[in-house]
Structure 1
Amino acid sequence: MATAVIGIMSMAAALGAPIQAVSADAVTRSADAASAAPGYPWSWPHTGPRLVIEPFRAPAHDYGPGHRGVDITAPIGTAVHAPAAGVVAFQGVVVDRPLLTIDHGSGYVSTFEPVASELSAGATVQAGDVIGMVDIGGHAPRGTMHIGVRVEGVYLNPHPLFGEIPRAILLPCCSD
């Protein structure tokens, strides 16, 4: 078992992936919040590969470090689709990145960046509607899109909203 854990940690370090312990309670909370979301399960926001470049990392407290969403591969110019019905709450540039925020009701709000859009606040969108295109700017690496989701102002891991719960996968480490 220790060899497998060391192998996973070595592989993650080699890939530049952060190592984070996630409690079973945190996964259950995210899954419970996701299944209560309007329109659950949500549609994936683009048709390309679902490769997560930077996973969700919950902060220890409201102002602590973390990654309050996921960064997924999405080449510049990729069409971005509304994951669930809602109303555009914000569309514009914040600091150096274009972003779009959708209020899905029942306290669920999603944000996509960098996403350039011609929609304006108050526009109604349905699940699957094109809401914009992946652009450049912001903290997410070029060719990726950041997806953040809040429920009543608290960020949660977006994966369970899409019917996907990230799980650890044990891979063979070494041969003797």
Structure 2
Amino acid sequence: MTTLLLTLLVALSQALTPAVRPLPPPLVVARWWDPPPTPYAAGHRGVDLAAPVGARLRAVGPGRVYYAGPVAGRGVLSLTLPGGLRTTYEPVRPLVAEGEEVTTGQVVAVLTEGAHCPEPCLHWGLLAGESYLNPLALLPRPTPRLLPTSPPAG
């Protein structure tokens, strides 16, 4: 295993226990994470979660506001999380300021209009240093439940 991959896995495993969803359930993925093969190649460096404009967005874990403001005409919020990870939300109207500490589940932004998706969505990203990771990996995996089969006809 490469050193970079090992570092990323350690950071991710130390990051958030437990994490919360940035939006209320159910999460509807409009576009999945699709990492580029090289740093400058095409890809999708986060996930797009369908949500209405005005949706209240929550901090997925405790941390500090790294950046809150415009980037390329869209509102962006970036939070530094435990383990050195950084999560990003866009397009948003941040409700917190740079340097402010946030708690898990705290409402930190409101979703605004954006040109990223055909329908309103939150673009949610995750970085370890300069490497993009799948932000869905922060969330607990659902617990599978087996349903009983119908009784045999008799």
Alignment TM class, shorter chain as reference: 0.7 to 0.9
Q: 2:71 aligns with which of 79, 91, 94?
A: 94
Deviations 1:44-99 (A, max 9, x none): 01114211000000100111110000001110001000000000000011112111
The share of aligned pairs that are identical, in percent, is 31
Which secondary structure state, in structure 2, belongs to the residue aligned with residue 66 of structure 1?
coil
Residue aligning to 2:136 = 159
* Residue correspondences, number: 137
Which secondary structure state, in structure 2, belongs to the residue aligned with residue 63 of structure 1?
coil
Output the CA distance in 2 between the equivalents of 1:41 and 1:151.
18
Are 1:43 and 2:20 counterparts? yes
Structure number with higher helix proportion: 1
After superposition, the Cα gap between the structure-2 partners of 1:33 and 1:55, relative to the gap in structure 1 and judged at 3 Å, is farther
5+ residue gaps, structure 1, are 1-27, 166-176
After superposition, the Cα gap between the structure-2 partners of 1:114 and 1:33, relative to the gap in structure 1 and judged at 3 Å, is farther
Which secondary structure state, in structure 2, belongs to the residue aligned with residue 36 of structure 1?
helix
8 Å contact kept, 1:34–1:160: no
Residue aligning to 2:145 = none
Output the CA distance in 2 between the equivalents of 1:124 and 1:141.
33
Shift of 1:36: 1.2
Shift of 1:118: 2.9
5+ residue gaps, structure 2, are 143-154
Output the CA distance in 1 between the equivalents of 2:124 and 2:100.
20
Shift of 1:114: 0.8
8 Å contact kept, 2:50–2:119: no
Residue aligning to 2:99 = 122
